[in-house]
A and B are shown apart, each in its own frame.
Chain A
Amino acid sequence: MIEIKDLHVETDDKEILKGIDLTLQKGEVHAIMGPNGSGKSTLSYALAGRDGYNVTKGTASINEQSLLDMLPEERAAAGVFLAFQYPVEIPGVQMSNFLKTALNAVRKARGKDELDALEFLKLAKKKMKELGVSDDMLKRPVNVGASGGEKKRNEVLQMALLEPSFAVLDETDSGLDIDSLKIVADGINKLRSPERTFLVITHYQRLLDYIKPDVVHILADGRIIKSGGPELALELEEKGYAGFLGQAA
């Protein structure tokens, strides 16, 4: 279970999140929708522990373990995974080396045996096949020269390998054409399980056509102004953010 209570986050000395309360039961998919500048990315970075996103008040926990005192790598080991809106390109670091290092670091922290090169390769190829990612990618530097779709598929592959219990998808649909979006959403759906909780952050409703949420929240100006079922996303699509923001005020 993921519990976020009265979370306030500052960045560059400006309060962006002004008290977020969210409870995600194990296996649920929650969507957070909000206009630009509402604090969507801030929430994802604060949960993943990025420097410069300072929690000034409130708590966040995963399975009753407090997240906020943990380093980013400790959060990953504890089961948090952030799929980046803009996956970072890292020239010179080979994808296979990156994936193996990350996987073994997480396995070690979770008390599992580390995989040797051969075991890793076998596992990686299996996951890649399931997600329709080409083997060539392993030899390439992390995200360098990859298309938007490839980068997002890489994120899903990383998720598949690291097996998080809580995945935060930060605007996974941004920069994707409809075909890529389908492929990526399909990959994410394959990873849905009763053990895995998702927080899907998006500006547009279209992603939610493919990844069906259990609960939808609307974020505006650092606060959740409304929560409801999947129908809320459709209502939002109809009225637009302006309509909702007016209603809240």
Chain B
Amino acid sequence: MSASKNIMKFPKKSRYKPETADVFVPMEEGGADWLRALRKSGFDELKEQGLPTPKLERWKYTNLLPLVKNFGAELGASDVVYEDPDKLVQNMGVLFEDAPRWLIDVLSQAPVRDDMALWHLCNAYIRDGVVIDVPAGEIVDKPVEITITGHDGAFFVPRTVFRLGEGAELTVIEFHKGEGRYWNNRVTNVIVGPNARMRHYRIQENSADAVYTQNTHVQIERDGTYEGFTLAAGAALSRNQIHAELSGSNATCDVSGINILRGSQHGDTTLEIEHKAPHCTSHQFIRSVLGDQAHGVFQGKVYVSRGADKTDADQLSNALLLSEGAEMDTKPELEIYAEDVKCSHGATTGKLEDESLFYLRSRGVPEDQARALLIEAFVDEVADKLGDEAVREIVRKRVEIWLKK
């Protein structure tokens, strides 16, 4: 006797968890058509995906949800202060009254991957932010300093746009800090025009209870240079995600970082560098120092498109674990479809060298000081490569203070 089997249909297993976005409510209507459309699409995408969870491949090591529960019901504010000698900073909110086409296009650009709900979250609530638009040929000597201060209980999602015209040069230093428990989720677009040079530094010293998630999209045109660096010392959880596209030949992209974390801090650096044109160069260089139960993550990907011949790309993550409880997860990836390329990647995780420690101590240097010297030396190899001398000093000073804490 043959019985027909009942075929049960299970719902398709999804990587997304839409219910995690339940807390978010749509923003009040208002503003130009494009703005309303952007908010709506952001909101719809957010509702469909929910917040990223470790089910997503690129979020495997970072569990955001427990730390951002209850954020989102209402939008909070942050203080933004500029040191802007050349009066370059424009308030995005003001620009929205009669936004230039290029800005609308940049802001409306879709994120490049399908795991970027946090990007959509910024769009869902887009309201203000910072715009710097440097005209072609203008060389800005003095760095623009932007200090963003979060306050207890706040959830804020600013967007930032830096555009450099052909041959322009700009240096931006962002200082991120705050008090109490808050969530700063950001999206930044950087457009480096032909032969232009952007130096983009972040000193991330958010409060110990804060969550800091940032997405930066960088586009570099021919002969352009982007130098991005982050010192991550703050936040209970930070996600520093950068996606750079080298879209014109002979472009250069350097992304580096120093992560100094302790307690139960979690610091995630996720980079993707996409070589789309020939003769481009990219470097990724991340060094992490992890104490107590701190958890570091480095995910770095180099993607070399067909035709991006003579690409020169390297990627290096070194972590120093200062205690048994500290943990580092690394995932370096190369994906190459071009001919004649030079690509390398490496990742190491280790402890302070006993031999070096003993050598210093045998010369009378007390153990604490010897450790500090070796840690400073370890991270200084990243700082030393930065183009801006003042920033090198800021970073050294911050590391020194951190070591004394």
Contact = CB atoms under 8 A, between A and B. Distances in A.
Contacts of A75: 362
Interface stretch (A23-31, A80-88, A194-202): A80-88
B108 to A, nearest CB: 45
Contacts of A101: 365, 369, 373
Nearest to A50: B358
Interface in B345-377: 353-356, 358-367, 369-370, 373-374, 376-377
Contacts of B380: 92
Contact of B378 (A51, A92, A103): A92
B362 A48 contact: yes
Given A92-B377, A92-B381, A105 B364 contact: yes
Contacts of B354: 51
B359 A76 contact: no
Interface in A139-166: 141, 158, 162
B362 A82 contact: yes
Contacts of A97: 373
A163 to B, nearest CB: 11
A49 B354 CA distance: 13
A121 interface: no
Nearest to B383: A92
A150 to B, nearest CB: 16
A16 B370 CA distance: 29
Contacts of B377: 90-93, 141
Contact of B361 (A72, A92, A93, A103): A72
Nearest to B380: A92
Q: Which of under 10, 10 to 19, 20 to 34, or 35 or more describes the interface residues of B?
A: 20 to 34
B373 A73 contact: no
A51 B360 contact: no
A87 B359 contact: yes
Contact of B363 (A51, A91, A92, A162): A162
Interface in A78-122: 81-82, 84, 87-88, 90-93, 97-98, 101-103, 105-106, 109
B378 A76 contact: no
Given A73-B367, A93-B373, A105-B369, A98 B360 contact: yes
Given A51-B354, A88-B356, A92-B380, A158 B374 contact: no
B373 A71 contact: no
Question: In this complex, which of B359, B363, B367, B377 has the most chain A Cβ atoms within 10 angstroms of its Cβ?
Answer: B363
B356 to A, nearest CB: 5
Nearest to A102: B363
Given A91-B381, A92-B377, A92-B380, A73 B359 contact: no
Contacts of B373: 93, 97-98, 101
A90 B374 contact: yes
Contact of A71 (B361, B363, B369, B376): B361
A51 B357 CA distance: 10
Interface in A20-59: 48-51
A158 B363 contact: yes
Given A90-B374, A92-B381, A93-B374, A102 B365 contact: yes
A91 B320 CA distance: 14
A101 B376 CA distance: 14
A63 B376 CA distance: 36
A77 interface: yes
Given A90-B377, A93-B374, A97-B373, A73 B364 contact: yes
Given A90-B374, A92-B377, A102 B356 contact: no
A84 B362 CA distance: 10
A84 B359 contact: yes
Nearest to A90: B356
A102 B373 CA distance: 11
A158 B362 CA distance: 11
B381 A72 contact: no
A76 B374 contact: no
Contacts of A106: 363-364
Nearest to A103: B364
Interface string B46-70: 0000000000000000000000000
A76 B366 CA distance: 10
Contacts of A102: 360, 363-365
Contacts of A93: 373-374, 376-377
Given A88-B356, A90-B356, A92-B380, A72 B362 contact: yes
A76 B370 CA distance: 14
A51 B354 CA distance: 9
Nearest to A72: B361
B349 to A, nearest CB: 17
A243 to B, nearest CB: 35
B200 to A, nearest CB: 24
Nearest to A99: B363
Given A76-B364, A84-B362, A92-B380, 16 more contacts: A48-B358, A50-B358, A71-B366, A76-B361, A76-B363, A90-B374, A93-B373, A93-B377, A101-B365, A101-B369, A101-B373, A102-B364, A105-B366, A105-B369, A109-B364, A162-B364
The 4 closest A-B pairs by CB, nearest first: A92-B377, A76-B364, A106-B364, A102-B363
15 contacts: A48-B362, A49-B362, A50-B358, A71-B367, A75-B362, A81-B362, A88-B356, A90-B356, A92-B378, A93-B373, A98-B360, A101-B365, A101-B369, A105-B363, A105-B366
